[in-house]
Structure 1
């Protein structure tokens, strides 16, 4: 997927303005990052394609860590890149959607789920990112809040960006809030829509089926998945058939693209 980048630059203030207008939700002081297992958290994010991740502070938008893959994907130096540099890679036409998706997620946490549960969710949506060669690819964005301050205000977050252009060509321009730690998910939310429309979604796949999908995305064969999950190869093949039928997909690549764009996993 390629496009002429044009001369326009994304209006990054649309996104930062969403946070600035809600100072009560974001920390007003520098906080220490509590101990956490970054690799474990990243492993909970669905990534099937080139991806990178970074940790940033909502107090001053400083980057605390950036994985080196940002250089291969965007051509940005991991040692000197800033949060603004990353925002500048967003397609100018998608910047408005990104800001509205963030605003909608905040409204849902405030008015439906409860802001206290924000660390139990992954925020997921897609947009176009400029890559190293200057073209634009469709990316999946997933964010996890890592910590809050003493008042409960959001302090630090982990963002993971995955190139999914090999799996999906079209963006649905919707938002998903994917529950972790037993929390329900809210999928395919229309940004700016009525909050009443954001209802918990019944899981399409069982926990076992999600495990199979994740292992398929890593390139494992049915035999390798069977060994990993301590099941028979016959059982894994049956799981794969049921998964495709449930998702109404013809093959696993189509399934993975659908899962990412629709926020199913």
Structure 2
């Protein structure tokens, strides 16, 4: 196996080396109620992983559409190995920060209020490059208050046609303090080296502008979006211009990518 894949797996195993954990499968139907707002628009698959064993307890059928493999054949090693080589080292550093954030920084009462978010690029079975939005949040904790079963959502956002954002964020699911653009090169979480924000970081955008950004994230055409929003093409274009004026980005797809990374849509 690729040594970088081993390194990532070892990061996840380390917190449980001295812990005996009784395995109890997660009640999947119940978690859907709690995490309905977590799923991003677009082609996606999700799975539940038991961290002490690194076994996938459940994986959705969407994995076949993105990875090109029967979901029953998918394991954690395969998912990591799909990354393009130059991003495996970056993933190892990001996951080192994720482990530090959830296992060392957060108090137990806040652990299930956060999700980690970042993007990376994979090759599917046909050799095509796909940009993946990765989101993960704990579903259960061990008796020692460490994340045990974790829900992971992988969304194909290749249709946005933007270079993946080389950043890491921790989003509060209850509108509390979130940490954006977290530094990951040191492999540890440092709250002083991130953009801490409370609530919605895109409050300057109108509801119509946010709706438009969400529609664009779904890969819909201009005509379809205008029809669904019941506005003219001219009004739609005006909204796009206003969105760009309020942001620091050159095109609308970069704005969409930033919204995704911030967990706003």
TM class by smaller structure: 0.7 to 0.9
Deviation for aligned residue 1:95: 1.5
1:196 to 2:192 alignment: yes
Relative CO higher for 1 or 2, CA cutoff 8 Å, sep ≥ 6? 1
SS in 2 for 1:177: strand
Instruction: Give the aligned length.
Output: 252
SS in 2 for 1:36: helix
SS in 1 for 2:116: strand
1:44 to 2:43 alignment: no
Question: Cα deviation per residue 1:209-252 (whole Å; 9 max; x = unaligned)?
Answer: 6555334433362553479xxxxx99998866543322234553
Q: Provide the residue aligned with 1:16 in structure 2.
A: 9
Q: Provide the residue aligned with 2:213 in structure 1.
A: 213
Matched-pair contact (CA < 8 Å) for 2:131–2:156: yes
Q: Provide the residue aligned with 2:50 in structure 1.
A: 57
Unaligned runs of 5+ in 2: none
User: Per residue, is there more helix in 1 or in 2?
Assistant: 2
- Say which is worse superposed, 30-39 or 53-62, in terms of deviation: 30-39
SS in 1 for 2:138: strand
Matched-pair contact (CA < 8 Å) for 2:214–2:256: no
Matched-pair contact (CA < 8 Å) for 1:138–1:164: yes
CA distance in structure 1 between the aligned counterparts of 2:45 and 2:68, rounded to whole angstroms: 12
Matched-pair contact (CA < 8 Å) for 1:10–1:92: no
1:184 to 2:177 alignment: yes
Matched-pair contact (CA < 8 Å) for 2:133–2:155: yes
Q: 2:119 aligns with which of 117, 126, 130?
A: 126
Deviation for aligned residue 1:186: 0.7
Q: Provide the residue aligned with 1:230 in structure 2.
A: none
Unaligned runs of 5+ in 1: 1-7, 228-232
The aligned runs of 1:98-177 (5 Å cut-off) are 98-109=91-102, 112-177=105-170
What TM-score results when the alignment is normalised by the length of structure 2?
A: 0.78
- Say which is worse superposed, 216-225 or 87-96, in terms of deviation: 216-225
CA distance in structure 1 between the aligned counterparts of 2:53 and 2:230, rounded to whole angstroms: 46
Deviation for aligned residue 1:130: 1.6
Question: Cα deviation per residue 1:118-159 (whole Å; 9 max; x = unaligned)?
Answer: 211121111121213123322211112111133322121111
1:33 to 2:26 alignment: yes
Residues 76, 249 of structure 1: alpha-carbon distance in 2 compared, 3 angstrom cutoff: same
SS in 2 for 1:46: coil
SS in 2 for 1:200: strand
Q: Provide the residue aligned with 1:224 in structure 2.
A: 228
Q: Provide the residue aligned with 1:247 in structure 2.
A: 247
CA distance in structure 1 between the aligned counterparts of 2:151 and 2:56, rounded to whole angstroms: 10
What TM-score results when the alignment is normalised by the length of structure 1?
A: 0.78
